[in-house]
Amino acid sequence: MKMNRTLVFQTDFGRTDGAVAAMYGVALDINPELKIFDLSHEVPPYHIFEASYNLVQTLSYWAEGTVFISVVDPGVGTDRKSIVVRTRSGHFVVTPDNGTLTHIAKDVGIEEAREIEESLHRRPGSSESYTFHGRDLYAVTGAKLAAGLIPFDAVGPVLPLSSLVILPTTQTEILPDEVKGSIDVLDARFGSLWTSVEREAFLTLGLKFGDLVDVSITGQGTPMYRSTIVYCHSFGDVPAGHPLVYVNSLYRMGVAINQGSFAKAYNIGTGQGWKVSFRRAGDDRK
């Protein structure tokens, strides 16, 4: 496969210090013709699940041969593996093996995984540094791969796909009168809830745009929200400050407030402990 000299970085480092710039410098020192872009550097610290979700949200819009480097790595310096995978879509992801590939494995597919051979691909002079693999290992390996200086099979030994760390995800539950799932992530800047419930599953309720939906949300088993709101095309279909149910850009169901933050208004979080239920309004069947 021809590489396209493109690197896309994701981290939880933020921009308040030089960590991101250091990774750019390492990559460009390997090949100054590399094109470097950011997915995000604002992943909440240690939030592996969100990093995984961001990757599947973004990856398919980039050309084959693009290399993604994702560093959300609370286990840096431990015995967790450093890996590169080739996806079925023809992309490459350089990352710790800590669950970051969960959604790629589930929704895109992984063709092959290799463990990075540190003796070949670690930045010279960094062998006694154990806490910045993004700079010392992942930027180096990703840049070599994106620039075509090494083929994928030179990254290191093959790993069984069954050995990769995959985080728990929620299987949508479709009942005759109700569809259940979890709140996977927030549309962070706006506070909208992105659920695990697929559009196709939601539509088994027989709902059309403009219909009312009973929405219930629990956090760690505690009821946090229950109300009847409208199913809309988009935010502007309701007045500012009003809630709505909509289909997000990944064809999953979202819950939002037009020009407001649903998450802040009702103190809603994300993860497997946060559950959501959709019912057609007025359907009292149990």
- DSSP E strands in the chain: the ranges are 6-11, 35-40, 67-71, 82-87, 92-96, 110-115, 158-159, 173-174, 179-187, 192-198, 212-219, 222-231, 243-247, 252-257, 271-280
Give pLDDT tens digits for 227-285: 999 999 999 999 999 999 999 999 999 999 999 999 999 999 999 999 999 999 986 54
Give pLDDT tens digits for 46-95: 999 999 999 999 999 999 999 999 999 999 999 999 999 999 999 999 99
> What pLDDT is stored for residue 136 in this prediction?
96
CA dihedral 89, 94, 99, 100 (to 10 degrees): -70
Arithmetic mean of pLDDT over the chain: 96
Tokens 């090494």 correspond to what residue?
A: 150
Q: Which domains does the chain have, with CATH numbers?
A: 6-163 (3.40.50.10790), 173-280 (2.40.30.90)
Q: Which two tokens stand for residue 231?
A: 């199913």
Give pLDDT tens digits for 116-141: 999 999 999 998 898 999 999 999 99
What CA–CA distances, in Å, run from 239 to 210, 229, 255, 262?
Answer: 14, 12, 15, 14
> By three-state DSSP, how is residue 262 classified?
helix
- Rounded distance, CA 222 to CA 204, Å? 27
- Rounded distance, CA 149 to CA 4, Å? 12
- Helix (H), strand (E), coil (C) string for 99-168: CCCHHHHHHCCEEEEEECCHHHHCCCCCCCCCCCHHHHHHHHHHHHHHCCCCCHHHCCCEECHHHCCCCC
* Over residues 98-108, mean pLDDT: 97
Give pLDDT tens digits for 186-242: 998 899 999 999 999 999 999 999 999 999 999 999 999 999 999 999 999 999 999
> What pLDDT is stored for residue 284 in this prediction?
55
Q: Which residues contact 280 (CB under 8 A, 6 or more apart)?
A: 177, 205, 206, 207, 211, 212, 213, 214
- Rounded distance, CA 187 to CA 189, Å? 6
pTM (whole model) above 0.85: yes
| Torsion 15-92-37-106 (CA) sign | negative
What CA–CA distances, in Å, run from 12 to 101, 156, 193, 241, 258?
Answer: 16, 26, 20, 31, 28
